[in-house]
Amino acid sequence: MIKVSVVGITGFTGLELIKILLNHKGVEIAHLCSRSRVGEPIFKVYPQFSGVIERVVEPIDVELLKESDLVFLALPHTVSSGIAKSLFGKTKIIDLSADFRLKDPTVYSKWYGVEHPAFELLGEAVYGLSELNREMIAQAQLVANPGCYATSVILAVAPVAQFLEGAVIADSKSGVSGAGRGFKEGLEFCEVNENFRAYSVSGHRHIPEMEQELKSFNENIRIAFIPHLLPVQRGILSTVYMQVEREMDFFKLYSDFFNGDYFVRVVNSPPSLNSVKGTNFCDIYPYYDRRTKRLIVVSVIDNMIKGASGQAVQNMNIMFGLDEKEGLGGFVFYP
Ligand SMILES: NC(=O)c1ccc[n+]([C@@H]2O[C@H](COP(=O)([O-])OP(=O)(O)OC[C@H]3O[C@@H](n4cnc5c(N)ncnc54)[C@H](OP(=O)(O)O)[C@@H]3O)[C@@H](O)[C@H]2O)c1
């Protein structure tokens, strides 16, 4: 049994990690920690665990965490890297924050507005997009779990990145859970419900992450990325427009690219959030518009599963040589 701990269990991705790990046959949960609610029974934080977990929230104690084989950090950026610095070398780490995703600390400072708190570890981190970096993830001590938008866009673009002319336009819509559980202005019920809006139009932090990872397929890749807030709880739908001069059998091209990748399904009609909500799947639909010579790809994920905690467990499975699907067999939340 692998001993795993989760830090940040009072947040959304921490909650998803607990649910997935409880269903995982190869792990033993060592510590469930957070800054707040320490000492309270987990079922008080989440009544859904009443009668399921008989343990209390533990403080974030680095010495205790070192007893784990792997620690998931489900924390805000800058907080994660502080803890990762103390844990590195003692246990494997999967960080769900943005702290180790960007390889260049100056790019991190530019987009996140602070000096990188642990730049000495950047060279150790592997970008954890499971389908693209499996071999490196298997060897990694520190995995930077990708951003949710970045996962949906990179998977939609990677198969054709080498054929692209001009910039990619990625138009993405996310449910509100993408912003986390804490209160944030603009995310109140009356702002979100029955409403729909674009945000971060002048630049979203996932852009450098997308371009960094897609550069290995096309050095000149450029992405215009426009996120929108959907009045739903979970899920991301990205519609990606790409200029490709030559028509190809894109369905086959995508199917061949993801051949053997259980969690990416190339589908032959536009997918909806209901196809993937609650699961670790990414459904991808490619369509070539001859009139405009644009390849239009629709990709959907659950932001908290394939976009965060599900992919984190997929990465853990890869790191420990387990079946990639272990713990991730849940069915879609529908209706
Ligand atoms: N939500 C998503 O769809 C999604 C997808 C991909 C990646 N991510 C990333 O995953 C990370 C967690 O996201 P989330 O959605 O789970 O966020 P969240 O719901 O806001 O939870 C944040 C967690 O971090 C803890 N925390 C906040 N500040 C802290 C501090 N200074 N010291 C110690 N703990 C602190 C909170 O604990 P307290 O109870 O003590 O405040 C809470 O447990 C973030 O970096 C986020 O960007 C999220």
Domains of the chain with bracketed CATH: 2-146+306-319 (3.40.50.720), 149-302 (3.30.360.10)
> From CA 92, how far away is CA 143, in angstroms rounded?
8
pLDDT of res. 226:
98
Distance CA 268, CA 2 (A): 39
Q: What percent of the chain lies above the pLDDT cut of 90? A: 97
Is 190 designated active site?
no
Instruction: Among 12, 277, 282, say which to mutate for ligand 1: greatest number of ligand atoms within 8 Å of CB.
Output: 12
Distance CA 178, CA 44 (A): 23
pLDDT tier at 183, thresholds 50, 70, 90: confident
Atom nearest to 96 CA in ligand 1: 10
The yes-or-no verdict on residue 152 having pLDDT over 90 is yes
75, 79, 149, 302: residue to mutate for ligand 1 pocket, most atoms within 8 A of CB: 75
**pTM given for the model:** 0.97
How large is the average pLDDT for residues 150-162?
Answer: 98
Q: 188 alpha carbon to ligand 1 midpoint, in Å?
A: 18
Q: What is the dihedral of CA 301, 205, 176, 266, to 10 degrees?
A: -10
What does the pLDDT read at residue 330?
A: 84
- The string of pLDDT tens digits covering residues 51-104 is 999 999 999 999 999 999 999 999 999 999 999 999 999 999 999 999 999 999
Residue range 184-241, pLDDT digits in tens: 888 999 999 999 999 999 999 999 999 999 999 999 999 999 999 999 999 999 999 9
Residue 196, helix vs strand vs coil: coil
Catalytically annotated residue among 33, 148, 190, 282: 148
Nearest residue (by CA) to ligand 1, atom 17, is 180
- 287-319 pLDDT per residue, tens: 999 999 999 999 999 999 999 999 999 999 999
Q: Separation of 261 CA from ligand 1 center, angstroms?
A: 29
Mean pLDDT of the chain: 97
Residue 37 has pLDDT above 90, yes or no: yes
Candidate of 6, 10, 12, 13 to mutate for ligand 1, largest count of ligand atoms within 8 Å of Cβ:
13
**CB-based burial label for 182 (10 Å; 0-12, 13-18, 19+):** exposed
Atom 30, ligand 1: residue with shortest CA distance: 79
The residue whose CA has the least distance to atom 15 of ligand 1 is 180
CA-proximal residue: ligand 1, atom 43 (nearest): 8
Kindly state the tokens that stand for 113: 């507005």
Give the span between the Cα atoms of 132 and 185, in whole angstroms.
Answer: 36
> Which atom of ligand 1 lies at the shortest distance from residue 60's CA?
33
CA of 71 to the centre of ligand 1 (A): 15
Residue 329, helix vs strand vs coil: coil
Q: Whose CA is nearest to atom 3 of ligand 1?
A: 178
